[in-house]
């Protein structure tokens, strides 16, 4: 049996789990608020369905983040922080702030720019928060998120939904 690592303390674990727990709590609050709106109206998608899916996504991502944070606590740093790290939000709190920024941007841009653009921007910001990614990878993330949103919008949502910036269709 291996002896526990002396560098891993209760404070270290708590510091690693606090940001994802806070984000998860926000997701649970959004889920509760999403359940106050109907998910389906007369066989069509209601206003609460997307809110419920989005909040479940936030909860799921925060749980994955908590697991990754626990794994990172046990692993020694692979390299010292360099100048490239100063460009990104570092540490668990920085990633959480960027995740909340992506969700908030989605909510703000949805009525202004439509579903596809809002999802593409949110996907790009969430990709940026994920770590060292190239502009090409961020653009790919944004295109994938926009494509998925367009597929959902064209197949599941009612025709009056603003999918594009210029109107419902």
The reply to whether the predicted model has a pTM over 0.75 is no
Is there a single domain that holds both residue 48 and residue 106? no
Q: Which helix (H) or strand (E) holds 9?
A: none
Distance (Å, whole) CA 77 – CA 12: 14
Axis crossing angle, helix 47-74 with helix 91-113, rounded to the nearest 10: 160
Is there a single domain that holds both residue 121 and residue 158? yes
Using DSSP, state whether 65 is helix, strand or coil: helix
- Is 120 part of a structural domain of the chain? yes
The tens digit of pLDDT for each residue in 93-140 reads 667 777 777 877 887 888 888 889 988 998 888 888 776 568 888 888
Q: How many domains in the chain?
A: 2
Residue 34 has which token pair? 């999403």
- Per-residue model confidence (pLDDT) at position 2: 56
Is there a single domain that holds both residue 66 and residue 106? no
Longest CA–CA span in the chain (Å) reads 64
- Per-residue model confidence (pLDDT) at position 124: 86
Is there a single domain that holds both residue 167 and residue 97? yes
- Is 119 part of a structural domain of the chain? yes
The tens digit of pLDDT for each residue in 17-60 reads 888 888 888 889 888 888 888 877 777 777 777 778 878 888 88
Residue 81: pLDDT above 60? no
Residue 8: pLDDT above 60? yes
Q: What's the domain range around 49? A: 9-76
pLDDT band at 79 (very low <50, low <70, confident <90, very high): low
- 23: exposed, middle or buried (C-beta count within 10 Å: 0-12, 13-18, 19+)? buried
pLDDT band at 88 (very low <50, low <70, confident <90, very high): very low
- Is 87 part of a structural domain of the chain? no
Is there a single domain that holds both residue 109 and residue 64? no
Is there a single domain that holds both residue 68 and residue 101? no
Using DSSP, state whether 44 is helix, strand or coil: strand
């Amino acid at each position: 049996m291996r002896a526990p690592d002396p560098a891993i303390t209760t404070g270290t674990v708590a510091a690693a789990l606090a940001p994802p727990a806070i984000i998860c709590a926000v997701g649970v609050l959004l889920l509760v608020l999403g359940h106050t709106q109907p998910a389906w109206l007369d066989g069509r998608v209601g206003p609460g369905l997307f809110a419920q899916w989005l909040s479940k996504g936030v909860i799921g991502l925060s749980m994955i983040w908590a697991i990754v944070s626990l794994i990172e606590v046990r692993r020694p740093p692979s390299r010292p922080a360099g100048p490239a790290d100063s460009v990104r939000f570092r540490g668990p709190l920085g990633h959480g702030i960027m995740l909340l920024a992506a969700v908030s941007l989605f909510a703000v841009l949805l009525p202004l720019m439509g579903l596809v653009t809002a999802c593409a921007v949110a996907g790009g910001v969430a990709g940026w928060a994920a770590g060292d990614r190239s502009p090409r990878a961020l653009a790919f993330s944004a295109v994938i998120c926009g494509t998925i949103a367009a597929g959902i919008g064209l197949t599941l949502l009612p025709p009056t939904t603003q999918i594009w910036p210029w109107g419902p269709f």
